Structure 1
């Protein structure tokens, strides 16, 4: 059903409020704006699917918020962080409780970031057409084929949810997902701090600390201005130009326009604000200058230990049918091997239970790894006897 009026939307939401599980997806456009423009909202149960025209109903999606926040209705998404963020902005409400089939699939043996079409094919044996991925969803009218394509994104999600939920419940892994899903539903996850955006600027690490303070002010200005104008950040000033401005600190609009990538229009329209940001960065006291975190060099011995831990990690991932990268990355393994375990993913929650405690015992010498019958085996290490080191006799 294609919904384009408030009455139909209200009736649809009333129907869906009685369902225990509702699939949710969105189509949006973001190429020319800072904030994504919501174009469609797809909603589905095991029996029927709906496509809500968010362009026709812009500013009139209040009934949808009831469903998104209903505590008795599980909202199922796939790779849903962008969907949740966009719906939060469009309705003022987060999506909770939420179940993300892409996250859940990694605990059921599927690759990290498995696509929706592949998951549907593997679990249900159904082919989903993804040929209209780059459709301009803001253009109207939509063709019946476009509406059907959008609807397919929720048509199979309830059954995928049921299959994954049943498998993970049987294997005692549903509780492992709670933290990830709580984070997905938390509005704080999507908050943007303009004064932290300098850390994401490409080539920021090439700057000294004083220039980094200038970059922090410049990046904060760019973020706030892009939000105000609802325009992509790169359309204001690119990362490369921002870094060059921070390095050269021009003192006038004329000097600013001499930097590659900064045209006269930008210099005249935003020059005063950019110069003010530069001066604010230059005024930061020495003891308050920002510093980018450096990746500490891991001792060569710890790297060798990480190699050993990696072998055990792969074995346990295969045994438990879990994606290896879901347990730990190479960087995380090296940190763990070097003894940096406070708050480490392998030191808490289900990862510790599954493999973290065992890896810690190996790294600390409490257990050993050896080859047995052509396979790696982890065995306890016998404690030394009291007499083993005695010279009496």
Structure 2
């Protein structure tokens, strides 16, 4: 990661772009910038896919608030997103990257996420954009349009100001954070985390595995899970095809209850509360067919959920000790605890897993991973002293 010097004597200008000519002109100017801050405004309450309503872009010297409803082709921005010499800046990049990937067919690279980077500088894991701007830039952002209808036109001046604020401070924050990370020797620590954000597999829905995320799916037997896999897959594909929220097709609770009842007829299916009102006859037939297909699948094809806490050794005591140690090292190193080691990862380590676990890789292993393994092996003891937790090496 190469830190570019901040341009001197420049002033940021804001432009509302509502035609293709101005968008292309901005893209040409931005091609010479070392950074490109990106944010999106969208709606998805009534759709499966997010409906992009506004795209905000910023260099060191200008902000472009792009109206996707008014321009002909956003793909003029693709060369900027793929240019390795331009660092793409985000705050909490996940949904923005998902939208860009769907709209443009590419993922930006390289990227820098200020929310992720903040966790190595003493901030909480989910710090919001506003508090981070205040912390680093000393600016209090207005919140008046945080829950506005971005699809309505014309946009008000307050909406445009709010949208511009979402990117205008990112270049400055990026440079401040890079300087502080470099001073701590941590500038490269997040390279793998940022590279992972650019992995397309993160933004592609796998309908065949959606059943694993159903609420209360753990109540089902393996045979019933087989039915849930088929029904959840059908629901996902229908939601995508019709661009509707999946819960508008069937709720998680309805899917699980139909599978728990092992419904084999439309009458059986309609015994589940609310299903009759949601499904037309054709869809009801499709759901019943999916149920029967799953229920009648041979046992060797029945899916199995990842091992639950109930079926694995109880490691509550180990987790308590591990989390105490992680909390201590996180505080000492001014790193958000969850960034250093999540509860889920600690549980896996406590149960003996060692492969593909972030806390046992790279800088995390150096700070805490090796020590956690020593703790589990009895090579470290924890006790309380006058100033808090005391870590003691025991005889090996």
TM-score (norm 2): 0.91
Report the counterpart of residue 44 of structure 1 in structure 2. 58
Question: In 2, are the aligned partners of 1:369 and 1:377 still within 8 Å (CA)?
Answer: yes
Tell me whether 197-206 or 289-298 shows the greater mean CA deviation: 289-298
Pairing 1:346–2:342 present: no
Report the counterpart of residue 374 of structure 2 in structure 1. 361
Pairing 1:323–2:336 present: yes
Alignment partner of 1:156 out of 169, 172, 175:
169
Q: Distance in 2 between matches of 1:36 and 1:183?
A: 22
Question: In 1, are the aligned partners of 2:235 and 2:250 still within 8 Å (CA)?
Answer: yes
Alignment partner of 2:286 out of 266, 273, 298:
273
Q: Deviations over 1:373-393 (max 9, x none)?
A: 64444344345xxxxxxxxxx
Report the counterpart of residue 34 of structure 1 in structure 2. 48
Q: Distance in 1 between matches of 2:278 and 2:325?
A: 58
Report the counterpart of residue 311 of structure 1 in structure 2. 324
Pairing 1:204–2:222 present: no
Q: Distance in 2 between matches of 1:356 and 1:334?
A: 13
**Number of matched residues?**
381
Q: What's the RMSD between the two structures over aligned residues?
A: 1.9
The structure-2 alpha-carbon separation of the partners of 1:14 and 1:287, relative to structure 1 and needing over 3 Å to count, comes to: same
Q: Distance in 1 between matches of 2:294 and 2:321?
A: 46
Report the counterpart of residue 39 of structure 2 in structure 1. 25
Report the counterpart of residue 227 of structure 1 in structure 2. 240
Report the counterpart of residue 89 of structure 1 in structure 2. 102
Pairing 1:138–2:162 present: no
The structure-2 alpha-carbon separation of the partners of 1:314 and 1:259, relative to structure 1 and needing over 3 Å to count, comes to: closer
Q: Deviations over 1:250-290 (max 9, x none)?
A: 33434433321112561324122112211211231112211
Q: Distance in 2 between matches of 1:274 and 1:208?
A: 19
The structure-2 alpha-carbon separation of the partners of 1:288 and 1:373, relative to structure 1 and needing over 3 Å to count, comes to: same
Alignment partner of 1:108 out of 113, 121, 126:
121
Question: In 2, are the aligned partners of 1:257 and 1:267 still within 8 Å (CA)?
Answer: no
Report the counterpart of residue 273 of structure 2 in structure 1. 260
Deviating runs (4+, > 6 A) in structure 1? Answer: none
The structure-2 alpha-carbon separation of the partners of 1:29 and 1:374, relative to structure 1 and needing over 3 Å to count, comes to: closer
Which runs of 5 or more structure 1 residues have no equivalent in the other structure?
A: 384-393
Q: Distance in 2 between matches of 1:374 and 1:326?
A: 25
TM-score (norm 1): 0.92
Alignment partner of 2:207 out of 159, 175, 194:
194
The structure-2 alpha-carbon separation of the partners of 1:368 and 1:258, relative to structure 1 and needing over 3 Å to count, comes to: closer
Q: Distance in 1 between matches of 2:212 and 2:348?
A: 22
Q: Distance in 2 between matches of 1:183 and 1:335?
A: 21
Tell me whether 24-33 or 372-381 shows the greater mean CA deviation: 372-381
Question: In 2, are the aligned partners of 1:256 and 1:267 still within 8 Å (CA)?
Answer: no
Question: In 2, are the aligned partners of 1:212 and 1:246 still within 8 Å (CA)?
Answer: yes
Tell me whether 346-355 or 224-233 shows the greater mean CA deviation: 346-355
Q: Deviations over 1:78-121 (max 9, x none)?
A: 00110011011111111111100000000111001100000000
Q: Deviations over 1:37-83 (max 9, x none)?
A: 111110112222110001222x6111111211111100000001100
SS at match of 2:143: coil
Which runs of 5 or more structure 2 residues have no equivalent in the other structure?
A: 1-14
